[in-house]
């Protein structure tokens, strides 16, 4: 299939009129948490192309994935009928919707009757709209009665969420609009590569540097973002917390901290000061590999700037000490007085399209809509009233994402699992074990657009509508609630997830009704969130359209929304931010004689997440057709490897073979593998499932690996 070239901004619709009922539609990209504005333009044949749109987040810019997003709407690999197996391990056959839904309801009910409600698990996705995330959480707790619901956003920013919540009393990816980045005199980015993962975001960093601002990047690779930096701190994987505390040591020693801000707007600094005193620069150099001179220079860049931001990404967060790592960076921002002020603050560059809204409204194991805690009696009562059920009927907190998947092992507590919009066989750590667990489940049902690696293991596969085939809202990384608009109906035979959830709830005899329409679903979400931390009650579809999105919290129709948090006080009971004294701990696994290198994983420009969508776009697949291992040429020479050779990577969990890609921009002791592919190229066959004790985030970014030349 030949795709049209990306249309430049402002390209008009084709001269021939599109088929009746089709017209240009303003919507948003189906990929990352920037949620860039775009326009889908139909041609005379009813095929869509993408035109840029001047939306506040991307200001007309799109990345390669955004420009080619319309190809998903005409992919020949779309699922258009339910698939069922007549026996475990047998072949799929097409089935009617009634047969498929009856079978799903029967098997879920049977597992619940035999083993208890918590034997049924639900696993959601960070790409689901707010409405669908809300309905899925309600479905799990009301229709199924299970505590065990979580989502792949647990793998994205749960460590940042936990650290931000306990420091500030509220977690939102960025507590300010992304446009504020351009106004900061200094910015530190730790463990994120937005030049490849969020290219339209880079215009704000370009503007920041053009104004004379300084950019500091912490990364074991000299990534595309690091190459633009004023200073690149090439730290050892797993050493982020020590580096942050070392920067704080210099700030205290050289009197760069803001004593008035600390006294007036924070608590807990003295305990943090005592730990920072032990992190003198030459000690931190030995831990991190970052030269003492660079540590001192970076601390002064941040401390001497009138305005500064500290932005963390998956690098420090996806570790078994991820919450402590992020807390150490928050401590630095607070001590410098760079929080709760214009053009200042800590934030996280979250990745998934609706990773923010997906957990705010009930997909996360311990949360109810509005960011309420499921263990809090008052929070339970507020949501139960909207749902029309007894608060006592709601289950308590359930298993986190990785623990939920572990519980599907033979003899585990979870016997049946429902997965929506998540390809866990590719995205979860220790993926070989996850695949074996799912294959052995009593019952697995997957709802997806394509037959992903996870869907291929299911007993029933339900074909679902995708981004431009349904209406809904998303919440981007800056807390802006935006509208996705339907441009075209789903193919014949395809239903929306909301319709599927409602149909299953009815078959299961739910005590509460489930809205199938997007706007009625959002209106119920608004009521359920009223009074919560993430209060959407003042947001409506009409306001979103009129205002280019609305920032939460927005507790009333007349409220303007909250683009900038914490200017008048933090969201804690006393209005003060909390320092947290954290000690650097080793990673769950470190190199040794048998596994002598660090392995870290991440994303590349042409692919996205598990690749379920992007690997099916021909232009993107051609640009980056498979996984590879990035290593330093000197490291490769010692192993007898040349550019393009097959390298066999082995950890304590498994082995893959991928092509070697040599570059002097990575540390000698570190290997990098992107995680977008499955089967024998899956980086997550190698990764370690060690969990952060607070966030339950797996340690994707750090493990020990052996590399050898694969025999021809």
Q: Rounded distance, CA 628 to CA 632, Å?
A: 13
Last residue of one domain, picked from the residues 348, 374, 406:
348
Question: Within this chain, do residues 247 and 165 fall inside the same structural domain, yes or no?
Answer: yes
Q: Which secondary-structure segment (H or E) carries 633? A: helix 633-639
Question: Within this chain, do residues 197 and 302 fall inside the same structural domain, yes or no?
Answer: yes
Q: Is residue 24 part of a domain?
A: yes
Return the pLDDT at 10. Answer: 44
Output b/e per residue, 647-678; b: 16+ Cβ within 10 A: bebbbebbbbbbbbbbeebbbebbbbbbbbbb
Mapping DSSP onto H, E and C, the string for 4-20 reads CCCCCCCCCCCCCCCCC
Question: Within this chain, do residues 172 and 119 fall inside the same structural domain, yes or no?
Answer: no
Return the pLDDT at 11. Answer: 46
Count of domains in the chain? 4
Residue 438, φ and ψ in degrees, nearest 5: -65, -35
For tokens 């937005």, name the residue: 194
For tokens 């966030």, name the residue: 695
Q: Is residue 357 part of a domain?
A: no
Q: Is residue 337 part of a domain?
A: yes
Q: Is residue 575 part of a domain?
A: no
Contact by Cβ (8 Å): 111, 416: yes
Question: Within this chain, do residues 378 and 508 fall inside the same structural domain, yes or no?
Answer: yes
Q: Is residue 517 part of a domain?
A: yes
β-bridge mates for residue 484, sequence order? 472
Identify the CA nearest to 156 among candidates 602, 531, 536, 561. 602
Provide long-range contacts, Cβ within 8 A and 24+ apart, for 591-594.
591/669, 591/704, 592/704, 594/706
Return the pLDDT at 157. Answer: 85
> In sequence order, what DSSP letters do the residues of 455-483 get, joined into one string?
GGG-SEEEEB--GGGS-EEEE-TTSEEEE
Question: Within this chain, do residues 314 and 186 fall inside the same structural domain, yes or no?
Answer: yes
Question: Within this chain, do residues 111 and 217 fall inside the same structural domain, yes or no?
Answer: no
Q: Is 345 helix (H, G, I), strand (E, B) or coil?
A: strand
pLDDT profile of the chain (712 residues), mean per 10: 38 58 92 96 93 95 97 96 94 98 98 98 96 97 98 92 96 96 98 96 97 98 97 98 98 98 98 98 98 98 98 96 98 98 95 87 94 96 97 97 97 98 96 96 98 98 97 97 96 96 96 91 97 97 96 98 97 98 95 98 95 96 97 97 97 97 98 95 96 96 96 74
The C-alpha torsion from 644 through 650 and 655 to 656, rounded to 10°, is: -20
Question: Within this chain, do residues 690 and 611 fall inside the same structural domain, yes or no?
Answer: yes
Return the pLDDT at 351. Answer: 79
Residue-number span of the structural domain to which 316 is assigned: 158-348
CATH number of the domain at 64, please.
Answer: 2.20.25.90
pTM, 2 dp: 0.95
Q: Is residue 571 part of a domain?
A: no
Non-local (6+) Cβ contacts of 616 within 8 A are 71, 72, 75, 77, 450
Q: How many residues does the chain have?
A: 712
Question: Within this chain, do residues 401 and 475 fall inside the same structural domain, yes or no?
Answer: yes
What are the structure tokens assigned to 614, written together? Answer: 């992007």
Residue 651, φ and ψ in degrees, nearest 5: -120, -175
Question: Within this chain, do residues 443 and 327 fall inside the same structural domain, yes or no?
Answer: no
Q: Rounded distance, CA 408 to CA 434, Å?
A: 8
Q: Is residue 406 part of a domain?
A: yes
Per DSSP, 488 falls in state: S
Residue 638, burial from CB neighbour count under 10 angstroms (0-12, 13-18, 19+): exposed
Question: Within this chain, do residues 337 and 205 fall inside the same structural domain, yes or no?
Answer: yes
Identify the CA nearest to 660 among candidates 636, 686, 680, 626. 636
Last residue of one domain, picked from the residues 348, 380, 411:
348
Q: Rounded distance, CA 709 to CA 492, Å?
A: 49
334-345 pLDDT per residue, tens? 999 999 999 999
CATH number of the domain at 332, please.
Answer: 3.40.228.10
CATH number of the domain at 696, please.
Answer: 2.40.40.20
Non-local (6+) Cβ contacts of 263 within 8 A are none
Question: Within this chain, do residues 149 and 163 fall inside the same structural domain, yes or no?
Answer: no
Question: Within this chain, do residues 627 and 653 fall inside the same structural domain, yes or no?
Answer: yes
Per DSSP, 45 falls in state: T
Non-local (6+) Cβ contacts of 29 within 8 A are 35, 36, 38, 62, 65, 66, 69, 353
Q: Is residue 57 part of a domain?
A: yes
CATH number of the domain at 525, please.
Answer: 3.40.50.740
Q: Is 417 helix (H, G, I), strand (E, B) or coil?
A: strand
């Amino acid at each position: 299939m030949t795709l049209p070239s990306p249309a430049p901004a402002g390209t008009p619709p084709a001269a021939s009129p599109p088929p009746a009922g089709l017209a240009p539609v303003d919507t948003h990209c189906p990929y990352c948490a920037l949620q860039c504005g775009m326009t889908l333009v139909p041609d005379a044949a009813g095929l869509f192309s993408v035109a840029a749109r001047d939306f506040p987040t991307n200001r007309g810019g799109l990345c390669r994935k955004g420009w080619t997003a319309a190809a998903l709407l005409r992919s020949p690999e779309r699922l258009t009928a339910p698939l069922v197996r007549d026996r475990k391990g047998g072949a799929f056959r097409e089935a009617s919707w009634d047969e498929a839904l009856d079978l799903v309801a029967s098997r879920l009910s049977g597992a619940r009757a035999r083993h208890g409600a918590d034997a049924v698990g639900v696993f959601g996705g960070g790409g689901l709209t707010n409405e669908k995330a809300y309905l899925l959480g309600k479905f799990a707790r009301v229709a199924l009665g299970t505590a065990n619901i979580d989502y792949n956003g647990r793998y994205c920013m749960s460590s940042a969420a936990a650290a931000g919540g306990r420091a500030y009393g509220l977690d939102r990816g960025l507590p300010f609009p992304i446009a504020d980045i351009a106004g900061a005199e200094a910015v530190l980015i730790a463990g994120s590569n937005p030049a490849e993962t969020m290219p339209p975001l880079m215009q704000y960093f370009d503007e920041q540097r053009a104004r004379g601002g300084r950019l500091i990047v912490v990364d074991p690779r000299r990534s595309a973002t690091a190459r633009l930096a004023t200073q690149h701190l090439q730290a050892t994987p797993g050493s982020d917390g020590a580096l942050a505390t070392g920067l704080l040591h210099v700030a205290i020693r050289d009197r760069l901290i803001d004593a008035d801000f600390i006294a007036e707007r924070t608590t807990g600094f003295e305990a943090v000061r005592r730990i920072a005193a032990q992190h003198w620069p030459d000690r931190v150099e030995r831990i991190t590999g970052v030269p003492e001179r660079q540590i001192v220079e970076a601390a002064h860049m941040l401390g001497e700037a009138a305005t500064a931001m500290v932005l963390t990404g998956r690098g420090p967060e996806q570790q078994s000490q991820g919450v402590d790592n992020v807390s150490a960076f928050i401590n630095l921002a607070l001590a410098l007085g760079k929080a709760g002020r214009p053009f200042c603050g800590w934030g996280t560059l979250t990745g998934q399209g609706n990773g923010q809204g997906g957990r705010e409204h009930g997909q996360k194991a311990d949360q109810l809509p509005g960011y309420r805690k499921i263990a809090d009696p008052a929070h339970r009562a507020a949501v139960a009233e909207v749902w029309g059920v007894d608060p006592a009927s709601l289950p308590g907190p359930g298993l986190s994402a990785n623990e939920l998947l572990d519980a599907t092992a033979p003899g585990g507590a979870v016997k049946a699992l429902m997965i929506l919009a998540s390809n866990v066989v590719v995205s979860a750590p220790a993926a070989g074990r996850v695949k074996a667990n799912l294959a052995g489940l009593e019952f697995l049902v997957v709802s997806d657009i394509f037959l992903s690696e996870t869907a291929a293991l299911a007993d029933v596969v339900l074909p679902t509508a995708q981004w431009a085939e349904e209406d809904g809202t998303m919440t981007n990384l800056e807390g802006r609630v935006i509208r996705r608009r339907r441009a075209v109906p789903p193919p014949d035979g395809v239903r929306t997830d909301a319709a599927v959830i409602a149909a299953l709830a009815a078959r299961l005899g739910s005590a509460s009704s489930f809205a199938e329409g997007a706007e009625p679903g959002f209106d119920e979400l608004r009521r359920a969130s009223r009074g919560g931390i993430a209060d959407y009650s003042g947001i409506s579809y009409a306001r979103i359209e009129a205002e280019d999105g609305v920032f939460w919290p927005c507790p009333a129709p007349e409220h303007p929304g909250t683009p900038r948090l914490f200017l008048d006080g933090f969201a804690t009971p006393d209005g003060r931010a909390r320092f947290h004294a954290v000690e650097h701990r080793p990673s769950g696994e470190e190199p040794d004689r048998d596994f002598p290198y660090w392995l870290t994983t991440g994303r590349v420009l042409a692919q996205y997440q598990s690749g379920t969508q992007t690997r099916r776009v021909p232009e993107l697949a051609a640009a980056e057709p498979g996984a590879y291992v990035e290593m330093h040429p000197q490291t490769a020479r010692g192993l007898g490897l040349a550019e393009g050779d097959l390298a066999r990577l082995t950890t304590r969990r498994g082995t893959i073979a991928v092509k070697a890609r040599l570059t002097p921009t990575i540390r000698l002791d570190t290997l990098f593998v992107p995680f977008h592919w499955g089967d024998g190229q899956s980086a997550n066959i190698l990764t370690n499932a060690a969990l952060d004790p607070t966030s339950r985030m797996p340690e994707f970014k750090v493990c020990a690996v052996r590399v050898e030349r694969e025999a021809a």
